Amino acid sequence: MHELKASPHRPSVAIIGAGFGGLGMAIMLERAGFTDYMIFERGSDIGGVWRDNTYPGAGCDIPSPLYSYSFAPNRAWPRRYSRQPDILDYLRQTAKDAGVLDRVRLNTEVTGAEFDSGTGKWRVETSDGETVEVDVLIPAVGQLSRPSIPEIPGAETFAGPAFHSARWRHDVDLAGKRVAVIGTGGSVIQFVPQIQPEVARVTVFQRSAPYVIPKPDRTYRRWHHRMFKALPFTQQAGRASIWTAGEVLTLALTSVQALGKIVEVTFRTQLWLQVRDKALRAKLIPDYRPGCKRVLFSNNWFPTLMKSNVDVVTDRITGITPGGVRTESGVHDADVIIYGTGFKASEMLAPMRIRGLGGRELADEWAEGAHAYLGMSVPDFPNMFVIYGPNTNLGGNSIIYMMEHQFRYVLQILAEMAAGRMSCVDVRREVADEFDHEVQDRLRTSVWTTCQSWYRDESGRISTNWPGLVWEYHRRTENVDLSAYRDLGLAKTA
């Protein structure tokens, strides 16, 4: 068994996942002098979703000045909504500059972790059969890292290539092919306009129409880059205004739903201006309230659907045949199927087997839905802090912003450990329960309960989203309330 060496009082840390969450946490640890850490990454490269989502047109939908670390501003973003290669480059460069890349163990999946109450340490088990002992466990595996493909009868009989948008097959030449696209989520509205000009036909199978509003994208020119460098506050101001707009959108989704009207009017105006065909327009009107599913941004989605080689099919899919996709109205011929069907968002931390105090399984603790105090701490799972955990996803603002609050929060606890004032802590159950009740109560009146979406698990519980403003999360995580935790006094970090 390998043991990471904890210096006196300085806990050793295992981070799981090398996306924005894991790498950001590592950078903050490094800066604070907590140098006994290791990052386990199951992929063959760092980057998380930005390594995996290489489909044509992949990019962020929160502008780059905000969709980046506040502590590593990039004055040279090529555009306001950057594309996947630039986001991945940014993440790689930032991690390299901070000196954390050589702590990443690639191709190493964490299969499980067990807390040992004898030693007060976590035993982390990896796919190569190794066990590593650490004081603190930080899972940062993301909510959107496991693609979800629906079980459709006959799918295995399809004669051509079939793949998920997050596992894009660049070896499949789509030129001149008939392509069936299943789903109309965030990825689909980005890649269909890119592939449409080269394919023979694209058939989009839509279960429910998304609210798509204009994307205020622009390329940043040389003068922008010069200005951001010479006068950093100009980029800061841009960041602040995007943040504020995100808060307004969040208000529309949570407590002031009348604001959703703004989204609806914007959507209907764009639809009316871009789609002149009445029958098509009727298909593209969502049957749920604005914001219940993620609001999407695009200027070219509707114009693409107007092209003569694009069909939108709204009949229910009943099966897949060797030659295409079957719906109630017949078989739609296809040479290639692309699943744009999203991710297993609510199956948090799966499929790892995590066992806490007394061997308690995290899967049992979360049997009725994942929940964690402030999205990070789970009773009976001492010294485990989840990044981008339950109820910390957002419908209208930057996830990286949320994560940064988590990094700072965890650092505060580690600082308490380093100072010898805490050793091995878990959140008090009554505190975690009260927090969860509050979150679920508030979510019950949010727009997200008015339709079925990836925000909800099978039972209908919303285990993904934060119920309030980002500002509130900032306020509640700014200073750790130490009384929320009990110290088990087990860890041997001193």
Ligand X SMILES: Cc1cc2nc3c(=O)[nH]c(=O)nc-3n(C[C@H](O)[C@H](O)[C@H](O)COP(=O)(O)OP(=O)(O)OC[C@H]3O[C@@H](n4cnc5c(N)ncnc54)[C@H](O)[C@@H]3O)c2cc1C
User: Binding residues for ligand X, per CB under 6 A?
Assistant: 16-22, 40-43, 48-49, 53, 58, 60-62, 67, 109-110, 140-142, 144-145, 187, 352, 388, 398-399
DSSP string, 10-39: ---EEEE--SHHHHHHHHHHHHTT---EEE
Report, in Å, the least distance between residue 285 CB and ligand X.
25
Q: How far is residue 424's CA from residue 364's CA, in Å, rounded to a whole number? A: 22
Closest contact distance (angstroms) between CB of 205 and ligand X is 19
Within 10 angstroms of residue 433's Cβ, the number of other Cβ atoms is: 14
CB of 8 to ligand X, least distance (A): 29
Instruction: Look at the block and give the residue holding tokens 């490094």.
Output: 30
Given a contact cutoff of 8 angstroms between Cβ atoms, the answer to whether 266 and 295 are in contact is: no
Nearer to ligand X, 21 or 324 (CB): 21
| Residue with Cβ nearer ligand X (20 or 302) | 20
Between 144 and 275, whose beta carbon lies closer to ligand X? 144
Neighbours of 208 (CB within 10 A): 15
| Residue 310 and residue 202 in contact, taking contact as beta carbons nearer than 8 Å | yes
Q: How far is the CB of 412 from ligand X (least distance, A)?
A: 20
Beta-sheet strands, E only, within 264-381 = 296-297, 310-313, 317-321, 324-327, 330-333, 336-339, 353-355
Give the C-alpha distances (Å, rounded to integers) separating 308 from 192, 203, 283, 304: 14, 11, 16, 9
Distance CA 286, CA 283 (A): 8
- The nearer residue to ligand X, 212 or 491, going by C-beta atoms, is 212
CA atoms within 13 A on the CB side of 18: 29
User: The tokens 């460069």 sit on which residue?
Assistant: 93
Query: Strand runs (DSSP E) across 293-383, as ranges?
Result: 296-297, 310-313, 317-321, 324-327, 330-333, 336-339, 353-355
Q: Which amino acid belongs to residue 374? A: L
Complex with ligand X: residue 55 or 302, whichever CB lies closer: 55
Nearer to ligand X, 147 or 324 (CB): 147
Q: Could you tell me the smallest distance in angstroms from the CB atom of residue 143 to ligand X?
A: 6
Token readout for 45 is 């490269």
Q: How far is CA 69 from CA 6, 59, 87, 171, 241, in A?
A: 28, 16, 11, 33, 16
User: What is the DSSP code (8-state) at residue 357?
Assistant: G
**How far apart are alpha carbons 146 and 125 in whole angstroms?**
20
Nearer to ligand X, 42 or 456 (CB): 42
Nearest distance, CB of residue 245 and ligand X, angstroms? 13
> Shortest distance, CB of residue 23 to ligand X, whole angstroms?
7
Minimum Å gap between C-beta 281 and ligand X is: 27
Nearest approach in angstroms of CB 140 to ligand X is: 5
Which of 266, 286, 298 is CA-nearest to residue 447?
286
**In this complex, which beta carbon is closest to ligand X, that of residue 205 or of residue 454?**
454
Residue 174 or 189 having the CB closest to ligand X:
189
61/347 with CB nearer ligand X? 61
- Answer yes or no: are the C-beta atoms of 384 and 378 closer than 8 Å: yes
**Smallest gap from residue 89 Cβ to ligand X (A):** 14
